[in-house]
Amino acid sequence: MNKSQLTNLLSLALLAVGVAIENDIVLMVGLFALSGALTNWLAVHMLFEKVPGLVGSGVIPARFEEFKNAIQNLMMEQFFNQENIDRFVANSTEKSHFNLQPVIEKVDLSPAYDRLVEVIMNSSFGSMLGMFGGAGALEPLKEPFIENMQASLIEMTQQDSFHQLLQDEIDQPDVMADIRSQVEQIVEARLEELTPQLVKQMVQQMISEHLGWLVVWGGVFGGLIGLISALVIPLV
């Protein structure tokens, strides 16, 4: 049982006690407390659920597209704006120098070897190799070639001059704009997966606990108003 339900039950119980013992003060306190609690509970309920006949109810699911667009604008303008992307890329470059070794080690360089063999076989040496088994004669060179190619690429990408060239290219306006465009496409694609029901659940999880206090305080202030009314009316 949440705080909203507990407040409504306590208010109803107080009202019932007032009726049972025929005490106007308790009756008024219970009546006003129940009125305040129920009114605020209905207001909270109307945020998330469509109530027939009540204009404006179910506002969060009804404004689903606006909510989704607001999330996208918030993420792109506050988190993935051009300034933040520039700062992130600059920091990444300074700290990691784009360590490409793991990538190079996973790249299949066999096509490079195959291309080399093709060039050799199409050259004047092709006919000579044909006398010694053709392209198959070069097969023992494949693994050493790939290993040396990987080592050369890793060494090249670890040089400061390479990182400077890479950074210069990344700093180009069109490159940075393309990065932001790709990020925006990813964000938009993820937001497209949202449904009105999912958005409603997200918002409920975020604010329902806090909105429950509206019901509690509605009951408290309603009860106080009822108490004041019960004390003042006999004096009038």
Cβ contacts of 11 within 8 Å, gap of 6 or more: 30, 33, 34, 36, 37, 38, 219, 222, 223
Contact of 229 with 89, CB cutoff 8 Å? no
For residue 32, what pLDDT band results from cuts at 50, 70 and 90?
very high
Query: Full-prediction pTM beyond 0.95?
Result: no
Q: How does residue 235 score in pLDDT terms, banded at 50, 70 and 90?
A: very low
- Angle at CA 195, nearest 5°, toward 192 and 197? 165
- Mean per-residue pLDDT, 41-66: 78
pLDDT > 90: percent of the chain: 5
Percentage, residues of the chain above pLDDT 70: 76
Answer yes or no: is pLDDT of 171 > 70. no
pLDDT at 23 over 70: yes
Task: Characterise 73 by phi-psi region: left (phi > 0), alpha (psi -120 to 50), beta (else).
Answer: alpha
Residue 129 is predicted with a pLDDT of 60
Q: Are 161 and 105 in contact (CB under 8 A)?
A: no
Q: Where are the domains of the chain?
A: 1-94+160-236, 100-157
The secondary structure element, H or E, covering residue 214 is helix 196-232
Q: What is the mean pLDDT of the chain?
A: 76
> Which two tokens mark 141?
């060179």
Average pLDDT over residues 204-228: 79
The tens digit of pLDDT for each residue in 92-129 reads 555 455 677 887 888 888 888 788 778 777 765 566 66
